[in-house]
Amino acid sequence: MQKVKLKRQPNWFYKLYKNFKEALSGEEKDYTTGNLNRAIFMLSVPMILEMVMESLFAVVDIFYVSKVSVDAVATIGLTESVMLLVYSTAIGLSMATTAMVARRVGEKNKEDAADATVQSVIIATTFSILISLVGIFAAEDILRWMGGSEALIAEGKGYAQLMLGGNITIMLLFLLNAAFRGAGDASLAMRSLWLANGLNIILDPIFIFGWGPIEAYGVTGAAIATNIGRGVGVVYQLYHLLKGDGVLRVALNNVKVNMPVIRRLLQVSIGGMGQYLIGSASWIFLVRIISVFGSEVVAGYTISFRIIVFTILPSWGMANAAATLVGQHLGAKLPDRAEQSVWRCSFYNMVFLALVSVIFIVFAEQFIGIFSSEPEVIYYGTMSLRYICMAYMLFAYGMVVSQAFNGAGDTKTPTIINLFCYWMLQIPLAYALSVWLDWGPMGVFLAIAIAESALAVVAILVFRRGKWKTVQI
């Protein structure tokens, strides 16, 4: 009797490796058909890795700067609070770009997807020039208004000038990656950010501490490295956008001003800008409240915030995957599958952040101690990290659901939610707890956890109503 030779089935590790490799390949895929879990995996892997590099850069950057002085760290904290306004503009435009490009790709209309990308670049460049002028000529006044001491201003004004003046590299890096993600080409977006931030990490110690003929610029050197690294990343993006070897390709006929498309982009992005400007302004006021308690508290909070970003940004990768899936599925007239993708992404994100929160709460002091040996900085940084992490599990759902609204082109709903949770709840509560009740910095950290939890609950309740499924862009 002849034996039947059974074909050996590949084990789970091999399948995972094969899917992981395919996710990083950048090959054109249709995410509106097939297994939904596989679609989430293929999109989220490069998006998470993209954000891992962004978070790694944030931690490495603050590690180097913390070796300069406490005022240098505080300078980054104060400047980045204002830079959040730049990020808000970039992210607002990015949300509109992702939503519109994803919708057009879902409709199989690549020409209009390319046109939307070009118009978003025109808008971003215009905003960037205005912000640069303010940053270059008013850096000292901005730091002074934020509560910086004269010694801090003297040391940090160069950093503030370069970061605000060179904001176009941040604008375009965010924006073009949003376009690639909307088109489903998350692998290219990942490579762009890895190139930009990898170069930034290499250049940081060279310009901060000096090397060979290059003098030590201190905290200003961090800004020099950032502008060079992100500038190279933008050049890489433009090369692939014009080369046209992926889903998204810009041809010569797309390079023109198209006012109808600009108007549609602005209609969506104004809500997105408002959404993040509300959140950014809230963080600015929080830092202003914290600065009353001294540079050590600001430095501790800044370090803890960078550590939080290290885990939050990978979670944003999952949220961005949800936004792309929502946009493409709505374009393909599959709203129920769009909703299903959001709930699955939310659950996976919650599991990840739940594990992270336990680690941070237990080892908070050790993590802060990596970046500073100052007892007061460690004390307040540990307090900040532990209190804010208490909201991680709910925040995991809130971030994905909010991005799902944005992916559908409904930027108005999360803007209203942010307005309520940040301006009407978080800021007054932070001031009341820290100043009126004399709880000090702990009151601010507790207010952040409460507000983020409230935002998640409200976002989930509104999302379940399903009005986002009917938004037209």
The 3-state DSSP class for residue 25 equals coil
The pLDDT value recorded for residue 63 is 81
Nearest partner of 60 among 409, 371, 444, 384, judged by Cα: 371
The pLDDT value recorded for residue 110 is 84
Measure the CA angle with vertex 344, ends 312 and 327; round to 5°.
Answer: 85
What pLDDT, in 10s, does the model give residues 291-302? 888 888 888 888
Full-model pTM: 0.76
Per-residue pLDDT band at 398 (split at 50, 70, 90): very high
**Pair 378, 369: CB distance under 8 Å:** yes
87: tokens are: 């990020």
Average pLDDT, the chain: 85
Per-residue pLDDT band at 28 (split at 50, 70, 90): low
The pLDDT value recorded for residue 15 is 73
**Pair 179, 35: CB distance under 8 Å:** no
How many other C-beta atoms are found inside a 10 Å radius of the C-beta of residue 365?
14
- The torsion angle over the Cα atoms of residues 177, 178, 180 and 182, rounded to 10 degrees, is 160
The pLDDT value recorded for residue 197 is 87
pLDDT of 2 over the 70 cut: no
Per-residue pLDDT band at 332 (split at 50, 70, 90): confident
CA 124 remoteness from chain centre: 17
Contacts of 27 (CB under 8 A, 6+ apart): none
What pLDDT, in 10s, does the model give residues 39-97? 888 888 888 887 777 777 777 777 888 888 877 877 777 777 777 777 777 878 888 89
Stretch 421-447: mean pLDDT, rounded?
92
Half-sphere exposure of 377 (CA within 13 A, CB side): 23
Which of the pair, 74 or 462, is modelled with greater confidence?
462
- 31, 82, 315, 377 from 35: Cα distances, Å: 9, 43, 22, 48
Distance (Å, whole) CA 57 – CA 201:
6
The pLDDT value recorded for residue 1 is 47
What pLDDT, in 10s, does the model give residues 335-358? 999 999 999 999 999 999 999 999
